């Protein structure tokens, strides 16, 4: 057999072996993903459409959450868009918002979102939850959106967004997501080179209010994080109490929607913070993100209370920033 033929056969054998290895690795990865997630189909109850309570359109987002039935707190968060039910869904370890391995079983919650503010009720938004906790590895979940959304994690009317979520006062508990911003290494918010803030009033998320539910802490890669120190202007210092929550939000500068947020259960300024882009958003990561931070006194970031303060960035903050100086310099009114 000619040497050239042997070389070609050898290269072909190497190619086939590499392809087989790649396929095997992909199969193993998919099996591991399935074992640590819950997948299935989300459907819309036709009765809500018939009576005019549901208005689900393609541009809506589906907010999926895994909720620990013991602590009644979300442990994983995922967004699906566009929304065209019935459609397949999956949520699991890759969507975890805190360090540690998900164990389960978990309640699965689905909420449609029209304006980027998960817990702000907009007519036509709907809600669904599994009647019992679901084990990780489940592949044929049927999640039915069968109630008008009432603005809370467990869809109870007239209570805080995270009422019943094992948090003080039935509110957002844990820590309130602070809003961060400003130029890298500079002072967040206001005009470039100024202090945190921007125009007073408006929702924490501005044009695209609070969207994602919990910042990913389990994979706080500095390359995809923004860190710094939060302070408050002298004029507003008397308004801040140690019992306030700090709410931190990271916004996509193009979509004006939050991609990550975290809540800190106390306010001890000056205070260090880090907020991280979730792993599932890193493939399309922007160079910088708008950040906003506010204090929360009533366990409801979307309902302002006397004495709450806020800061807004004036321009996107580059990922990898480690020394941001963020100043809360505006009363929070809404």
Tell me if 231 is assigned to some domain.
yes
Same domain, 191 and 56: no
Residue 91: CB atoms within 10 A of its CB come to 26
Nearest-angstrom CA–CA distance, 170 and 280 = 29
Q: pLDDT tens digits, the chain, 334 residues: what are they? A: 577 777 777 777 777 877 777 776 666 665 666 688 999 999 999 899 888 888 888 888 899 999 888 888 888 888 888 888 899 999 988 888 776 788 879 999 999 988 777 877 888 999 999 999 999 989 889 999 999 998 888 887 655 555 444 433 333 333 333 333 333 333 444 333 333 333 333 344 333 333 334 444 445 688 999 999 999 999 999 999 888 889 898 888 888 788 888 888 888 889 999 998 888 788 888 999 999 999 988 877 767 789 999 999 989 999 999 999 999 999 988 7
Tell me if 289 is assigned to some domain.
yes
Alpha helices in the chain (DSSP H): 3-35, 46-50
Count Cα atoms within 13 angstroms, Cβ side, for 58. Answer: 0
Same domain, 236 and 326: yes
Same domain, 322 and 221: yes
**For residue 114, what are the contacts with CB-CB under 8 A and spacing of at least 6?**
59, 60, 61, 122, 124, 125
106 in helix, strand or coil? strand
Question: For position 169, what pLDDT does the model report?
Answer: 34
Q: Are 136 and 35 in contact (CB under 8 A)?
A: yes
Same domain, 202 and 257: yes
Instruction: Write down the residue that tokens 């399935």 correspond to.
Output: 34
CATH (domain of 184): 2.60.40
Tell me if 100 is assigned to some domain.
yes
Tell me if 138 is assigned to some domain.
yes
- Note if the pTM is more than 0.85: no
Nearest-angstrom CA–CA distance, 284 and 251 = 14
Question: For position 1, what pLDDT does the model report?
Answer: 58
Same domain, 245 and 296: yes
**For residue 21, what are the contacts with CB-CB under 8 A and spacing of at least 6?**
none
Q: Are 294 and 332 in contact (CB under 8 A)?
A: yes
Domain ranges, residue 102: 38-148
Same domain, 76 and 217: no
Same domain, 176 and 317: yes
Q: Is the CA virtual torsion 324, 327, 330, 334 positive or negative?
A: positive
Tell me if 16 is assigned to some domain.
no
Nearest-angstrom CA–CA distance, 160 and 151 = 8
Tell me if 155 is assigned to some domain.
no
Q: Which of 178, 179, 116 is nearest to 314 (CA)?
A: 179
Same domain, 68 and 215: no
Same domain, 122 and 198: no
Total count of domains within the chain: 2
Last residue of a domain, one of 116, 132, 148: 148
Tell me if 158 is assigned to some domain.
no
Question: For position 148, what pLDDT does the model report?
Answer: 92
Question: For position 26, what pLDDT does the model report?
Answer: 63
Same domain, 176 and 138: no
Same domain, 117 and 177: no
Same domain, 318 and 205: yes
Nearest-angstrom CA–CA distance, 165 and 173 = 7
The DSSP string of 218-251 is: TT--GGGEEEEEEEE-GGGGGG--TTSEEEEEEE
Tell me if 273 is assigned to some domain.
yes
């Amino acid at each position: 057999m000619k040497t050239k033929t042997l070389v070609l056969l050898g290269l072909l054998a190497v190619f086939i072996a590499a392809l087989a290895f790649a396929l095997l690795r992909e199969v193993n990865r998919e099996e591991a993903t399935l074992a640590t997630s819950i997948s299935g189909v989300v459907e819309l109850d036709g009765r809500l459409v018939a009576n005019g309570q549901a208005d689900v359109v393609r541009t809506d987002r589906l907010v999926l959450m895994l909720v620990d039935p013991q602590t009644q707190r979300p442990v994983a968060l995922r967004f699906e868009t566009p929304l065209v039910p019935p459609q397949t869904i999956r949520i699991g370890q890759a969507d975890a918002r805190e360090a540690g391995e998900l164990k389960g079983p978990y309640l699965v919650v689905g909420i449609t979102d029209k304006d980027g503010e998960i817990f702000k009720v907009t007519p036509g938004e709907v809600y669904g939850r599994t009647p019992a906790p679901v084990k990780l590895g489940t592949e044929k979940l049927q999640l039915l959106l069968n109630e008008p959304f009432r603005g809370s994690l467990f869809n109870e009317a007239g209570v805080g967004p995270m009422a019943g979520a094992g948090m003080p006062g039935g509110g957002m508990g844990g820590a309130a997501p602070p809003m961060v911003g400003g130029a890298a290494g500079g002072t967040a918010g206001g005009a470039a080179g100024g202090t945190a803030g921007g125009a007073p009033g408006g929702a924490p998320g501005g044009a695209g209010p609070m969207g994602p539910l919990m910042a990913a802490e389990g994979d706080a890669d500095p390359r995809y994080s923004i860190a710094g120190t939060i302070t408050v202007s002298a004029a507003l210092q008397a308004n801040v109490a140690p019992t306030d929550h700090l709410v931190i939000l990271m916004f996509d500068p193009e979509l004006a929607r939050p991609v990550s947020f975290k809540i800190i259960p106390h306010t001890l300024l000056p205070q260090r913070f880090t907020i991280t882009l979730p792993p599932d958003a890193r493939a399309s990561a922007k160079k910088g993100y708008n950040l906003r931070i506010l204090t929360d006194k009533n366990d409801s970031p979307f309902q302002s209370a006397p004495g709450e303060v806020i800061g807004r960035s004036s321009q996107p903050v580059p990922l990898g920033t480690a020394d941001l100086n963020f100043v809360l310099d505006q009363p929070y009114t809404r």
